[in-house]
Chains A and B, each alone.
Chain A
């Protein structure tokens, strides 16, 4: 297995086979992978929030918001040799760690808004979503292999699943 690259909050990393993309402890955030296995290139972005609202901060950290992260990731994967029509996506995350009855509805539900927005944008841009593991109330550690093209999702106390 190749070298593991850590993708921190709001980071966007694109690399070639045989390296590995890792992100630790995804809570309400989304770990989205877009890859072209024929060109042996893959990228991961660690999305924190659904919508940049055209905030100038999004230019500096496009990976922070779903609406800026996904086009930036596609562009970067294609720049490193990926072919737009061959791109596929896998994603995990979007959970809600705490539930507070009576709290404003979207205060802690960022996870489900992140998932919804990411799914909509992928659909709109015509990137097929091959596999996903979303929602719930547990954190996830995810690892994407550019040899098997599998996304391994580890949940504390529940073990690891490959999707």
Chain B
């Protein structure tokens, strides 16, 4: 539940993608998106990104703020406050996802403060490509989609998990995959 609205999350899928194809992987690299980035340190060090179309990102911000700001008009709220709300919304969603992962493995993790950006999809994906590019030519992407709220004003988003090199082996070890 987020803001008293049900959150529906798909089963995550994992894929190995060439970093050189990553910029076009989720669609038109020029389309505007909202992204929230966090780092998690602990038993399973990784980076997480919550990706939304710019439109859905702004709808999420409206929902978060309208429950807090009483009589203040949404359009009077400064951009920095909106970005801070976006970062917090993304942080809640990413933390919930990460907690679920860590519960499976009874791992312990700390999560950084969130950082929000509005930019072209291709530029955001490039951050991921570069994180993986330091170690090789492939990226491992754990990807899930979620929707907040009922049909009338539902918001879609994507969680992308980027495990640090080596950290996936420790996760699999805990899950006794090997």
Size category of the binding interface on chain B: 20 to 34
Give Cα A29 to B128, complex, Å.
12
User: What A residues does B117 contact at CB under 8 A?
Assistant: 97-98, 137
Interface residues of B (CB under 8 A from A): 19-20, 22-23, 29-30, 32, 35, 37-39, 112-113, 115, 117-127, 129-130, 133-134, 136-137
User: What A residues does B29 contact at CB under 8 A?
Assistant: 24-25
Interchain nearest-CB distance for A74 vs B (Å): 22
A77 proximal to B (CB < 8 A) = no
Name 16 extra pairs, CB < 8 A, besides A27-B119, A140-B123: A9-B23, A24-B23, A24-B30, A25-B121, A25-B123, A27-B123, A48-B133, A49-B130, A57-B137, A64-B133, A97-B35, A98-B35, A98-B115, A99-B115, A100-B39, A100-B113
| The 6 nearest A-B residue pairs measured at CB | A25-B122, A139-B123, A27-B123, A27-B126, A98-B115, A25-B123
Interface residues of A in 1-38 (CB under 8 A from B): 8-11, 24-29
User: What A residues does B112 contact at CB under 8 A?
Assistant: 100-103
User: What B residues does A156 contact at CB under 8 A?
Assistant: 32, 118-120
Q: Are B127 and A98 in contact (CB under 8 A)?
A: yes
A90 proximal to B (CB < 8 A) = no
Give Cα A23 to B130, complex, Å.
16
Q: Are B115 and A100 in contact (CB under 8 A)?
A: yes
Task: Return the chain A residue nearest B115 by Cβ.
Answer: A98
Give Cα A126 to B66, complex, Å.
57
User: What B residues does A98 contact at CB under 8 A?
Assistant: 35, 37, 115, 117, 127
A78 proximal to B (CB < 8 A) = no
Q: Which of B38, B119, B129 touches A138 (beta carbons < 8 Å)?
A: B119
Identify 24 residue pairs between A and B in the complex whose beta-carbon atoms are under 8 Å apart, listed by A's number.
A9-B20, A11-B20, A25-B23, A25-B125, A27-B127, A28-B126, A28-B130, A29-B126, A29-B130, A49-B130, A49-B134, A57-B136, A97-B35, A97-B126, A98-B127, A100-B39, A100-B113, A101-B112, A101-B113, A102-B113, A110-B130, A137-B117, A139-B122, A156-B32
Give Cα A12 to B169, complex, Å.
34
Interchain nearest-CB distance for A64 vs B (Å): 7
User: What B residues does A137 contact at CB under 8 A?
Assistant: 117
